[in-house]
Structure 1
Amino acid sequence: MLDFGLDFGRSDDPGVQSQLDRLARLSVPQGRLGLDTIRALMDRLGNPHRALPPVFHVAGTNGKGSACAFLRAMLEAQGQRVHLTTSPHLVRYNERIRLDGKLIGDAELAALLAEVLDAGEDLHPSFFEVTIAAAFVAFARAPADACVVEVGLGGRFDATNVLEPDVLAACGIAALGLDHERFLLAPEDGTPREPMARIGFEKAGIAKAGVPLITLRHDALPAGAVAAQAERFGAPLFAEGTAWEAREEDGRLVYRDGAGTLDLPRPALAGAHQIENAGLAIAMLRHQRSIAISSEAIEAGLASANWPARLQRLAPGPLVGTRQTWLDGGHNPSAGAMLGAHFAGSRVHLVLGMLANKNPLALVEPLRDSIASLTAVPVPGHEAHPPQAFGPRAKAANDLAHAMEAIPDDGLPVLIAGSLYLAGEALRLNGELPD
């Protein structure tokens, strides 16, 4: 696993902070890929990944976190105790490990990270390898009925891919697009040369023998890119458009598969794209091999799912006052297309901060006809694009607070976007810490 643009986090707890400082010192030899290190680390820790409750494993470029949020909410509505690991964190590192619905506590987190870091010190693991090892150790020790695991980067060589078929209930692949090209498109013998085919190859690398693989339609991929991986690993494939479908009809979510039709309310999460993310979660639950799930639990989960910084309407608070303000951590063309569609036909003041290694026009171009003003801000703790990278209309502000103060009081909504790190800062300043 390779490290890239990480925010290692800060904690008010000195025990946690000392371990986060150790995490921040980790580095990986240039070019190291593969699962050998995470497997060696797990072996030293007693192979906790082999003692987990049924696991739902989700990869993708966009929407995988939302799909995980729906999975968690639906399983909990069924009365299941659910462990969850996602990335990145927005405000606190604790957000990466949720045990039976609650963020891991500081004392437990500090001891857990110390245990994993001590066990693997001479292996030189990466930040992600340590984090996932810690999550799986915690998951194996705390009683639960299911685990939901989000892939961090790619799939084939992601640290979460240490998971083995015996513990997996289902694997899912959310929306795919070009992102992290430096890592996912690095030349390698035996891999597809066409970029989107390679993306499909990498993401579908989580497929496992005998484990249902549920995917969205993936129209942008060359035909058979994901199916070839499913066949290679012996994973039964359930693709949208052939095995199942989910669409909005008359303001409702209508889901269909071979077992019947569900007529459901729209998801609580905002945006038309959440129809397909919710559909993926429903399809994973309907095609998995471990836990019975009712249509009532699916409906309740649609209403209760929560996923901060993904087209989130911020509450009135110190940063935004009472102004209608939306927050989204998206930073790639797929996220831009989603935001462009959501705000089509309306006007919005855009506050934008993007890491320097991202395409600065990924959001500006799709939102072009909706932008009433564009204010560029730094991304705290990270190298970010300067205002001129976003075009001649962009103005500069020193930070989010100054950006919000400078926006005209004209009744138009505000969109803060471009980076999950920036989104975390917005949540912190507005007093909306993820819990």
Structure 2
Amino acid sequence: MNYQQTVDYLYQHLPMFTRVGAVALKNDLHNTLELCNLLDNPQHKFKSIHIAGTNGKGSTSHMLAAILQQAGYKVGLYTSPHLQDFRERIRINGQMVPEKFVVEFVEQMQDAIAGIEPSFFELTVAMAFHYFALEQVDVAVIEVGLGGRLDSTNVITPELSVITNISYDHMHILGNTLPAIAAEKAGIIKAGVPVVIGETQPAVQSVFINKAAEMQAPIHFADQEWLVQESNLNPTHPGSGLQMQLLHKQQQQVKHITLGLSGQYQEKNIMTVLSAVKVLQHSGWNIPDAALHDGLLHVKKLTGLRGRWEVMGENPLLVMDVGHNEAGIKEIIQQLRHTRYQQLHIVTGFVKDKAVDAVLPLFPATATYYFTKAQIPRALDEHILAEMAAASGLKGHTYATVQEALQAAKQHAHKDDMILVCGSFFIVSEAM
């Protein structure tokens, strides 16, 4: 098989959550451990940082990887899902895993695939760990796929665990209450391994404190350590990045940060990253201030991060953001308040298992909507979405494909208008 045939084989033969939903999930780590065992347990051959959370875990993973890279370490980065190329999921120092490695790995694992019948995600995790071990990375930043406790990535014992925040997402799998969801995410907290929690949330704070105490894991709440004193986005150049001044509350130390990402919602992630870096420095990692600043400034170039309030064009302003659940959409709406435009055009679509009825009332009624669907089995039909949206006072037209919807938005938008593409990774992926 060539590379494209190999990736097609993975999509067609292995159940993939992002395409088919919960039927792809296993409720234990058995398959991942079996695959790793066949590969001589690569998960024990490199140091790692494990990152969970409802929102922000992807951005936080990329920022930490960029900082460690600038500090001179050889850094593996495992994230999901991908936007354009499967290989985006597995990188070392920003470079995607070679096509040749993917092809040879899948060929090597043919018998194991037939015998174990892993999911797409389980096999991908094993592939990443095998690659990082063979390439002898100094550290790998590993983003949780879904939840934490039963996620395939949860076979590592990291140097540091990070949980960005908790909000409602994947309730049919993780539970219907914030404490239940938090308990699943807290499953990545390991014995004696420090954990950084991004946000102090009264509904779930005790879940993390109790789990950390049980595991004798030192716990840090980033927003109790840091205060954002200033945060500025250039409204005339929305893609120019975020400039921040932060104060470390205990040490009264001030940091001036320029982040190469322009979403105001990144403030929370920056505090999480700064607390994580402090813990790593305290544990003996050599991360100079220059590496911190350079990593954050050049995070997109260093790691290939995309789809976070990404400005794709001007006149009209075209922005794409992968925010897709209640908390993510709230952050996008907040960001719109910092953005100048005449009329707002929103290209959007969702997957069936999201709480779409909770998200739609958050959208502005004054925008013009282009309802569409991604070309995956999980996609919510655009006509059903339009009906649901109408109940929330949102008006627009339906389009069978994302490209048609985006084209229509471009035709209708004037140069002082704004086009926003959001709703799911898959909508943004197809729009790109």
Interval containing the TM-score (normalised by the shorter chain): 0.7 to 0.9
Q: Give a deviation string over 1:221-259, Cα, whole Å, max 9, x none.
A: 3340111111222211111344x2241426423141655
1:342 is matched by which residue type in structure 2? Q
Give the equivalent residue in structure 2 for 1:3: none
Residues 226 and 57 of structure 1: CA distance in aligned 2, closer, same or farther (over 3 Å):
same
- From the superposition, tell whether residues 328 and 363 of structure 1 become closer, same or farther in structure 2 (CA, over 3 Å): farther
Give runs of aligned pairs for residues 149-228 of structure 1, distance below 5 A. 149-164=142-157, 168-185=158-175, 195-219=177-201, 221-228=203-210
In structure 2, the partner of 1:308 is 306
Quick one: distance in 1 between partners of 2:307 and 2:97? 20
CA distance in 2, matches of 1:117, 1:300: 42
State the match for 1:379 in structure 2: 374
- How far apart, in 1, do the equivalents of 2:353 and 2:49 lie? 31
- Taking the TM superposition and a 5 Å limit, the aligned residue runs for 1:10-409 are 14-18=2-6, 20-27=8-15, 32-52=26-46, 54-164=47-157, 168-185=158-175, 195-219=177-201, 221-242=203-224, 244-249=225-230, 251=232, 252-256=244-248, 258=250, 261-288=253-280, 289-306=283-300, 307-315=305-313, 323-344=316-337, 347-368=343-364, 371-382=366-377, 383-386=379-382, 387-391=386-390, 393-407=395-409, 408-409=412-413
Q: CA RMSD in A?
A: 2.3
Farther-moved stretch of structure 1 (81-90 vs 385-394) = 385-394
What do residues 27-47 of structure 1 show as CA deviations (whole Å, max 9, x unaligned)? 498884111221122111100
Aligned partner of 1:426: which letter? A
1:367-412 CA-partner distances (Å, limit 9, x unpaired): 325x420110121233324222222513112333332343323321
The one-letter amino acid paired with 1:399 is: T
Aligned length: 396
In the alignment, is residue 422 of structure 1 matched against residue 420 of structure 2? no
| Contact 2:7–2:86 (CA under 8 A) maintained in structure 1 | no
Q: Distance in 2 between matches of 1:323 and 1:29?
A: 41
> Counterpart of 2:296 in structure 1: which amino acid?
L
Letter aligned with residue 265 of structure 2: H
Deviation at 1:157, TM superposition (A): 0.4
Task: State the alpha-carbon separation in 2 of the partners of residues 403 and 237 from structure 1.
Answer: 46
How far did 1:266 drift?
Answer: 3.7
CA deviation after TM superposition for structure 1 residue 364, in Å = 3.3
1:22-69: CA deviations, max 9, x gaps?
4532349888411122112211110011101x2111000000000011
Letter of the 2:183 partner, please give it: F
Q: Is there any run of 5+ residues in structure 1 with no aligned partner, and where? A: 1-12, 186-193, 317-321, 428-435
Structure 1 range deviating more: 115-124 or 298-307 = 115-124
| Structure 1 residue 19: Cα displacement | 5.1
Q: CA deviation at 1:103?
A: 0.5
Report the CA distance shift for 1:368/1:15 in structure 2 as closer, same or farther (over 3 A). closer
- Judging changes above 3 Å, is the alpha-carbon distance between structure 1 residues 209 and 255 closer, same or farther for their aligned structure 2 residues? farther
Take 2:131 and 2:335, find their aligned partners in 1: how far apart are those partners?
A: 38
> What is the SS of the residue equivalent to 2:356?
coil
CA contact (8 A) 2:223 2:272 kept: no
Secondary structure of the residue aligned to 1:297 is helix
Deviation at 1:91? 1.3
- What corresponds to 1:191 in structure 2? none
Structure 1 residue 143 displacement after superposition: 3.1
Name the structure with the higher helix share: 2
Contact 1:70 1:302 in 2 (8 A): yes
Contact residue 263 and residue 308 of structure 2 kept, 8 A: no
Confirm or deny: 8 A CA contact 1:247 1:275 kept in the other structure.
Answer: yes
| Aligned-partner Cα distance in 2 for 1:210–1:257 | 25
CA contact (8 A) 1:45 1:116 kept: no
| Percent of aligned positions that are identical | 26
- Name which of structure 1's ranges 377-386 and 61-70 shifts more when overlaid on structure 2: 377-386
TM-score, structure 1 as length reference: 0.85
Secondary structure of 1:84's aligned partner: strand
CA distance in 1, matches of 2:5, 2:24: 27
* Structure 2, unpaired ranges of 5+: 16-21, 233-243
> Is the 1:116–1:130 Cα contact (8 Å) retained in structure 2?
no
Q: Write the distance in 1 (CA, Å) between the matches of 2:223 and 2:324.
A: 28
- Residues 110, 255 of structure 1: alpha-carbon distance in 2 compared, 3 angstrom cutoff: farther
SS at match of 1:211: coil
For residues 156 and 255 of structure 1, do their structure 2 counterparts lie closer, same or farther at Cα, with a shift above 3 Å needed? farther
2:235 aligns with none
SS of the residue aligned with 2:107? helix
TM-aligned CA deviation for residue 323 of structure 1: 2.9
2:350 alignment partner AA: M
Distance in 2, Cα, partners of 1:237 & 1:359: 31
Contact 2:63 2:273 in 1 (8 A): yes
Distance 1:362 1:309 in 2: 23
SS at match of 1:314: strand
